[in-house]
Amino acid sequence: MSIFNVIAETKLIPLTTITSRDDVEPLCEVLVEASIPLVEITLRDERTLDIIDEFKKFPEVYLGVGTIRSELHIDLAINASASFLITPGYSENLLNYAKQKNMPLIPGVQTPSEIMKANEAGLSTLKFFPAELSGGLDRLKAYKSVFPDIKFIPTGGITNKNALSYLSLDNVSAVGASALISPDLVYSKSWSEIKSNLKDSKELITKN
């Protein structure tokens, strides 16, 4: 099964930032227990660069590395056995480098021009970011008729209150949500609360 099929089947990509190796194992455990076998680790803290390779010990979790902004980030993600990469915007250079390394990359897009560039480069799954600040549901509805072959992963401002509305759209394959595993919860090692958040979201999505 391709990583794009896993994402579409799960319908949810939790996002978080990890700054300690000690947090990787309990994070992977709660993800598996919540039946959400993937996570996006964002490179928003320099400390994360030095520890994402810890995820190699937990192959049962598909690792996505987000906020990719350089070839070095791609190399570090590959070394960590990442399953996919996510960039905050569209970069032809990074896309080509990821292709050379045979790594799936999902670029962030907002505008029709960015979507067309990504599609011309052979991509059909794109991150719509920041979703709520970029027109949200209305913009994605408008994109459906113009880009019928594109699937979006809206990220940014996604909560349990609006996730189902996004997932009801035919051109949305999954949503990315950072509120489920907030850095504060990770820092305080609130694994029970994180697991509860993940299970609640999984149940909400599965029932509808």
Structural domain boundaries in the chain: 3-203
DSSP letters for the chain: --HHHHHHHH-EEEEE----GGGHHHHHHHHHHTT--EEEEE--SHHHHTTGGGGGG-TTSEEEEES--SHHHHHHHHHTT-SEEEESS--HHHHHHHHHTT--EEEEE-SHHHHHHHHHTT--EEEETTTGGGTHHHHHHHHHHH-TT-EEEEBSS--TTTHHHHHTSTTB--EEESSTT-HHHHHTT-HHHHHHHHHHHHHHHHH-
The whole-chain average pLDDT of the chain stands at: 97
Q: What is the pLDDT averaged over residues 43-50?
A: 92
pLDDT value of residue 142 = 98
What's the alpha-carbon Rg for the chain, to the nearest Å? 16
| Residue 127 bears catalytic tag | yes
Question: From the candidates 40, 54, 151, 202, which is the catalytic residue?
Answer: 40
Residue 64 pairs with which residues in a beta bridge?
Answer: 40, 84
| Residue 54 bears catalytic tag | no
More confident residue, 33 or 208: 33
Provide the CATH number for the domain formed by 3-203 in this structure.
3.20.20.70
Q: How far apart are CA 174 and CA 166, in angstroms?
A: 8
Q: pLDDT-derived band of residue 6, with 50, 70 and 90 as boundaries?
A: very high
pLDDT per residue over 65-98, tens digit each? Answer: 999 999 999 999 999 999 999 999 999 999 999 9
pLDDT value of residue 160 = 92
Q: How far apart are CA 45 and CA 162, in angstroms?
A: 28
Q: pLDDT-derived band of residue 57, with 50, 70 and 90 as boundaries?
A: very high
Q: What is the pLDDT averaged over residues 175-197?
A: 97
Question: From the candidates 11, 127, 151, 195, which is the catalytic residue?
Answer: 127
Answer yes or no: pTM beyond 0.85: yes
pLDDT value of residue 207 = 82
Q: What is the pLDDT averaged over residues 179-184?
A: 95
Q: pLDDT-derived band of residue 40, with 50, 70 and 90 as boundaries?
A: very high
pLDDT value of residue 1 = 84
Q: How far apart are CA 76 and CA 58, in angstroms?
A: 17
